[in-house]
Amino acid sequence: MSPGLAAVYRVRSDASSIEDRARAIAVEQSVEMPVSAIEDDYILSSIVGRVVAIEPREEGIFEVRIALAAETVGQDPGQLVNMLFGNTSIHDDVVLHDAEIPAELMKWFGGPRHGLSGLRQKVGARARALTCSALKPQGLPPEKLAALAEKFARGGVDYIKDDHGLADQAYSPFAARVQAIAPALRAVEQAIGHAARYVPSLSGDLDCMRRQAAVAREFGIDTLMVAPMISGLSNFHRLVRDNPDLAFVAHPAMAGAARIDPAFLFGTLFRLLGADAVVFPNHGGRFGYSPETCRAIARAALADRAGMRPSMPTPAGGMSLERVPEMLDFYGKDTMLLIGGALLAERERLVEATAAFVAAVERHGHG
Amino acid sequence: MSPGLAAVYRVRSDASSIEDRARAIAVEQSVEMPVSAIEDDYILSSIVGRVVAIEPREEGIFEVRIALAAETVGQDPGQLVNMLFGNTSIHDDVVLHDAEIPAELMKWFGGPRHGLSGLRQKVGARARALTCSALKPQGLPPEKLAALAEKFARGGVDYIKDDHGLADQAYSPFAARVQAIAPALRAVEQAIGHAARYVPSLSGDLDCMRRQAAVAREFGIDTLMVAPMISGLSNFHRLVRDNPDLAFVAHPAMAGAARIDPAFLFGTLFRLLGADAVVFPNHGGRFGYSPETCRAIARAALADRAGMRPSMPTPAGGMSLERVPEMLDFYGKDTMLLIGGALLAERERLVEATAAFVAAVERHGHG
């Protein structure tokens, strides 16, 4: 078996069954047929998955490492996730915890084209944490979204992303939204000298996402958001490859991360495919992630990997101004803080609330 | 709020918290911001999700129905699943159980272009159940896969699908595979008069899947397999729309169906987007589905829906010849039985084992 591809699962099992269960997963994720019926030596020695380690973890949970053949993946991200978890995702006793990915595949996927430092550079930040907010609610027409964006920008925020619910709806078509928001931000830039970046959210099939990327490009936008688990990982990676000059923010929608370890999915896999920033639910907000999970996501996004740029950890999901110092203590400066609803709740004080958010980050950065 | 779009969740909660939790989901899946901060009347009345029913189910589980605005979806399948489950998929206390989909959207998605009766017609079957097998293991070169396909065809099977692990690997590139298998099956057809249908599996990004579909078409193939949760639902639907003359088999890889009800995902959503057959794990095989789950999937795939063709329920996953009568008693004749490994395990008796499978189905059909 060629070295390098391995899936790491956490399996719910008792000690007497785990070896059989591990072997069954190894077969399911490789040849998916009775091994006794395989005649071909190459397949038996090189393609059939091999259980390389079983270690007990917490009560009733085992970590199982299975070596798979890199040849089964080719160079396709969709096929990678198919080989790592395709059929096994249907079993509810298994979580995909991590994977070892061969160096050659890592190189082909290529990771972030801009990454942490690229996102800082775009907004003229040096070492501080970045700030981000979100345009919502759904249902607002482009002019009202542009008015919100203008206020965020006047408050000095670095990035302004679409709510991931904003797609290409009749009340706010993608092109009309970009056409309204991009010039509004340029006007603010001319007025106050600070350029906030608008990050529109792409949706639809690959053709549709390409058309949207082209529209965004036409209006001078250089950062885009995609939900890779909705677009399909292969299509996300195709957009990254075809647009090396654009930065990509990965959104966690449909990640169903209870069944795939969030640190692996967001911090490793999305990064590997080119996410310059990965949005994930912060602990203590609307989602149930623990501080340990969040730290693991951020660590994976930033981990030293030969030749690969770090991705910007972007905790979000019910964050507030009051939590900024605590979050910065927790994540350090290599982070982009995303506060949406809590700023929008300030209504007519939106510019001031945004400015307070920005100031809190800058103060902490210099402290 | 425009009528018709509603998500139905099963939520783990205690009775004292369920109302708050339901409201939180309604907000998360619509405006994703504090409702108190929304000024716009249209958004408050038409876009914010509304809890319309909460019903206790089994101990500690509630069924929650939330009305959503159809306008938030537009016409995009990816955005549909984003609105139904995008962020909420990250919460592990919620399963997406079902959805009501507006008639207009149903019409646009369109369901199977061929469906149950189209798949029967292609292979000259009248009312009987269909038979299907799978080419494996991974790692075999095209000629060996073609030799297997030939044996299945000589045994009289109706459809021969790629193992979903077969993609575009060096040891068996998609084009070389199709080029080897299609003429092998035509030769069998000329010899014995029965045409088995080869169903190759598409992979990669949308461009890549399109190229593969074009190659398949060139070799006279009229039925294709896609894993919609890997390709992205929008891209799957795009392929269906662009190729109305081809039939599509939906594979459950990466469906992680523990978090989305399998009957909804396979039987309703995949069907709605145009799956002519839906492959799913049968009870009592390698996967943990109960008979009730399998019956619900088949029922959803076949359910009478105005103007929409039924999709062919295709139970699979560790099935054997011995189970054919029991499966036919369970599913009736509106099914395609898929047996792969158990036939391949017969090795040099593959033609005879396939013929026995085919005969068992025919016998039952006339019984």
8 A C-beta contact, residue A171 and residue A140: yes
- Three-state DSSP class for residue A237: helix
Rounded Cα distance between B253 and B228, Å, is 8
8 A C-beta contact, residue B29 and residue A164: no
Interface test with B, best of A235, A269, A343, A350 (most B CBs within 10 A): A235
Q: Name the minimum distance, in Å, from the CA of B276 to any CA of chain A.
A: 20
Whether B162 has its CB under 8 Å from any CB of chain A: the answer is no
The band of A306, judged by pLDDT with boundaries at 50, 70 and 90, is: confident
Are B105 and B120 found together in one domain? Answer: no
What are the backbone angles phi and psi of residue B290, rounded to the nearest 5°? -85, 160
Whether residue B43 has pLDDT greater than 80: yes
Q: Flag if B259 and A259 touch (Cβ within 8 Å).
A: yes
Are B186 and B73 found together in one domain? Answer: no
Per-residue confidence (pLDDT) for residue A260, from 0 to 100: 84
**Nearest CB neighbour to B227, from listed A82, A206, A286:** A82
8 A C-beta contact, residue B112 and residue B301: no
Q: What is the mean pLDDT of residues A127-146?
A: 94
Which of B100, B6, B98, B80 shows the shortest CA–CA distance to B49? Answer: B6
Q: Which of residues 95-134 of B touch A (CB under 8 A)?
A: none
Whether A72 has its CB under 8 Å from any CB of chain B: the answer is yes
8 A C-beta contact, residue A282 and residue A327: yes
Written as one string, the DSSP assignment of A67-128 is: EE-GGGTTT-HHHHHHHHHTTGGG-TTEEEEEEE--HHHHHHH---SSHHHHHHHHTT--SS
Are B49 and B27 found together in one domain? Answer: yes
Residues of chain A neighbouring B286 (CB-CB closer than 8 A): 24, 28
Q: What is the mean pLDDT of residues B59-88?
A: 94
User: Looking at chain A, which runs of residues are DSSP E strands?
Assistant: 5-12, 50-56, 61-68, 94-100, 130-135, 159-162, 197-199, 223-226, 247-250, 277-281, 312-316, 336-338
Q: Flag if B82 and A233 touch (Cβ within 8 Å).
A: no
Interface test with A, best of B36, B105, B206 (most A CBs within 10 A): B206
Per-residue confidence (pLDDT) for residue A236, from 0 to 100: 96
The amino acid that residue B135 corresponds to is: L
Whether residue A365 has pLDDT greater than 80: no
Q: Flag if A255 and B89 touch (Cβ within 8 Å).
A: yes
Whether residue A118 has pLDDT greater than 90: yes
Higher pLDDT, B3 or B213: B213
Give the other-Cβ count within 10 Å of A195's Cβ.
16
Are B198 and B51 found together in one domain? Answer: no
Q: Which of residues 24-63 of B touch A (CB under 8 A)?
A: 24, 28, 30-34, 36-40, 42-43, 46-48
Residues of chain B neighbouring A76 (CB-CB closer than 8 A): 167-168, 203-205, 208
Q: What is the mean pLDDT of residues A309-332?
A: 94
Q: What does the pLDDT look like over A251-305, one tens digit per residue?
A: 999 887 667 888 998 999 999 999 999 999 999 988 878 999 999 999 999 999 8
Which of B42, B110, B35, B100 shows the shortest CA–CA distance to B70? Answer: B100
Cα A134 to Cα A161, A251, A275, A318, distances in angstroms: 5, 12, 18, 12
Q: How far apart are the first and last CA of chain B?
A: 52
- Looking at chain A, which residue has its C-alpha nearest residue B77? A204
Whether residue A244 has pLDDT greater than 50: yes
8 A C-beta contact, residue B187 and residue B364: no
Per-residue confidence (pLDDT) for residue A290, from 0 to 100: 92
Q: What does the pLDDT look like over B78-116, one tens digit per residue?
A: 999 999 999 998 888 999 999 999 999 989 999 999 999
Per-residue confidence (pLDDT) for residue A3, from 0 to 100: 61
8 A C-beta contact, residue A312 and residue A290: no
Per-residue confidence (pLDDT) for residue B20, from 0 to 100: 96
Q: Flag if A76 and B167 touch (Cβ within 8 Å).
A: yes
Rounded Cα distance between B310 and B294, Å, is 16
Rounded Cα distance between A64 and A139, Å, is 46
Rounded Cα distance between A293 and A275, Å, is 19
8 A C-beta contact, residue A30 and residue A24: no
Are B171 and B302 found together in one domain? Answer: yes
Q: Is B190 exposed, middle or buried (0-12, 13-18, 19+ CB in 10 A)?
A: exposed
Interface test with B, best of A30, A33, A81, A168 (most B CBs within 10 A): A33
List, in order, residues 6 or more apart from B118 with CB less than 8 Å away: B112, B247, B276, B309
Q: What does the pLDDT look like over B263-301, one tens digit per residue?
A: 998 999 999 999 999 999 999 988 878 999 999 999 999
Are A140 and A247 found together in one domain? Answer: yes
Rounded Cα distance between B351 and B77, Å, is 41
- Looking at chain B, which residue has its C-alpha nearest residue A258? B92
Written as one string, the DSSP assignment of B266-319 is: IIIIIHHTT-SEEEEEPTTSSS---HHHHHHHHHHHH--BTTBPPPEEEEESS-
Per-residue confidence (pLDDT) for residue A2, from 0 to 100: 53
Are B127 and B228 found together in one domain? Answer: yes
The last residue of one of the domains, among A109, A134, A155, is A109
Q: Is A110 exposed, middle or buried (0-12, 13-18, 19+ CB in 10 A)?
A: middle
The band of B25, judged by pLDDT with boundaries at 50, 70 and 90, is: very high
Whether A340 has its CB under 8 Å from any CB of chain B: the answer is yes
Q: Flag if B137 and A204 touch (Cβ within 8 Å).
A: no
Indicate the number of domains in chain A. Answer: 2
Residues of chain B neighbouring A108 (CB-CB closer than 8 A): none
What burial letters (b/e) apply to B279-314, b meaning 16+ CB within 10 Å? bbbbbbbbbebeeebbbbbbebbbeebeebbbbbbb
Whether residue B190 has pLDDT greater than 50: yes
- Looking at chain B, which residue has its C-alpha nearest residue A206? B206
Q: What is the mean pLDDT of residues A179-205?
A: 95
Are A209 and A319 found together in one domain? Answer: yes
Are A119 and A103 found together in one domain? Answer: no
Which of B155, B135, B154 shows the shortest CA–CA distance to B145? Answer: B135
β-partners of residue B159 are B132, B197
Rounded Cα distance between A294 and A206, Å, is 31
Rounded Cα distance between B328 and B258, Å, is 26
Per-residue confidence (pLDDT) for residue A259, from 0 to 100: 77
Q: What is the mean pLDDT of residues A230-243?
A: 96
The last residue of one of the domains, among A85, A109, A133, is A109
Per-residue confidence (pLDDT) for residue A11, from 0 to 100: 95
Whether A256 has its CB under 8 Å from any CB of chain B: the answer is yes
List, in order, residues 6 or more apart from A170 with CB less than 8 Å away: B71, B74
Average per-residue pLDDT in chain B?
93
Per-residue confidence (pLDDT) for residue A367, from 0 to 100: 47
Whether residue B50 has pLDDT greater than 50: yes
Q: What is the mean pLDDT of residues B180-191?
A: 96
Residues of chain B neighbouring A144 (CB-CB closer than 8 A): 40
Rounded Cα distance between B9 and B7, Å, is 6
Average per-residue pLDDT in chain A?
93
Are A101 and A129 found together in one domain? Answer: no
Q: Flag if B86 and A164 touch (Cβ within 8 Å).
A: yes
Which of B87, B21, B95 shows the shortest CA–CA distance to B54? Answer: B21
The last residue of one of the domains, among B85, B109, B133, is B109
Residues of chain A neighbouring B48 (CB-CB closer than 8 A): 137
Q: Which domain holds residue B284?
A: 115-366
- Looking at chain A, which residue has its C-alpha nearest residue B206? A206
Q: Which helix (H) or strand (E) holds B199?
A: strand B197-199
Cis link prior to A137 (omega < 30° from 0)? yes
Q: What does the pLDDT look like over B298-333, one tens digit per residue?
A: 999 999 987 899 999 999 988 899 999 999 999 999
Q: Name the minimum distance, in Å, from the CA of A126 to any CA of chain B.
A: 31
Per-residue confidence (pLDDT) for residue B367, from 0 to 100: 47
Are B313 and B283 found together in one domain? Answer: yes
Q: Flag if B165 and A32 touch (Cβ within 8 Å).
A: yes
Say which range, A36-40, B19-23, B159-163, B221-225, has the weakest mean pLDDT: A36-40
Rounded Cα distance between A128 and A102, Å, is 33
What pTM does this model have? Answer: 0.93
Are A171 and A188 found together in one domain? Answer: yes
Pairs from A216-221 (Cβ < 8 Å, separation ≥ 24): A216/A178, A217/A243, A217/A246, A219/A178, A219/A179, A219/A182, A219/A183, A220/A182, A220/A186, A221/A178, A221/A182, A221/A197
Q: Flag if B43 and A76 touch (Cβ within 8 Å).
A: no
Whether residue B343 has pLDDT greater than 60: yes
Residues of chain A neighbouring B135 (CB-CB closer than 8 A): none
Residue B39 sits in a domain of what CATH number? 3.30.70.150
Q: Name the minimum distance, in Å, from the CA of B344 to any CA of chain A.
A: 7
Whether B282 has its CB under 8 Å from any CB of chain A: the answer is no
Computed on alpha carbons and rounded to an integer, the radius of gyration of chain A in Å comes to 22
List, in order, residues 6 or more apart from B367 with CB less than 8 Å away: none
Q: Which of residues 171-200 of B touch A (CB under 8 A)?
A: 171
List, in order, residues 6 or more apart from A232 with CB less than 8 Å away: A78, B205, B230, B231, B232, B235
Indicate the angle between helix axes B174-192 and B142-154, nearest 10 degrees.
Answer: 30
Residue B135 sits in a domain of what CATH number? 3.20.20.110
Whether residue A144 has pLDDT greater than 80: yes
Cis link prior to B137 (omega < 30° from 0)? yes
Q: Flag if B168 and A89 touch (Cβ within 8 Å).
A: no
